[in-house]
Amino acid sequence: MTFNDVSTDVRQSLDTRTQADQLLTKHMEQLETTSMIVVLECFNATSCSLQKVELDLLSVVKFLSSFFCFKRGRNLMIQKRRPIRIC
């Protein structure tokens, strides 16, 4: 059963549904925050690499392609908002 299941289950008390909804919201916010930190670290690493004087154009394309691929995958993960299992 997921937090989402509990929060929409009319057989559960209002308090239980409210708590499940609050926990789901809290976990999604934490996931989004953690995900943003990972993206920013990746962006910073890419930025630092792109500032190297001896960098060639092919490496620039590889760094940017890798970053955009990573970011696209992260966005898909957040959009799907996979349920968080509680038991």
pLDDT at 43 over 70: yes
Amino acid at 48: C
CB-based contact 87:5 (threshold 8 Å): no
> ∠ CA(72), CA(67), CA(51), 5° rounding?
155
Residue with structure tokens 């799907």? 80
Question: What is the pLDDT, as a whole number, of residue 73?
Answer: 73
d(CA 28, CA 83): 10
pTM attached to this predicted model: 0.53
Point out which residues pair with 85 in neighbouring strands: 2
Q: What is the mean pLDDT of residues 15-41?
A: 85
Q: At residue 78, does pLDDT exceed 80?
A: no
pLDDT at position 84 is: 45
Q: How many CB atoms lie within 10 A of CB 85?
A: 9
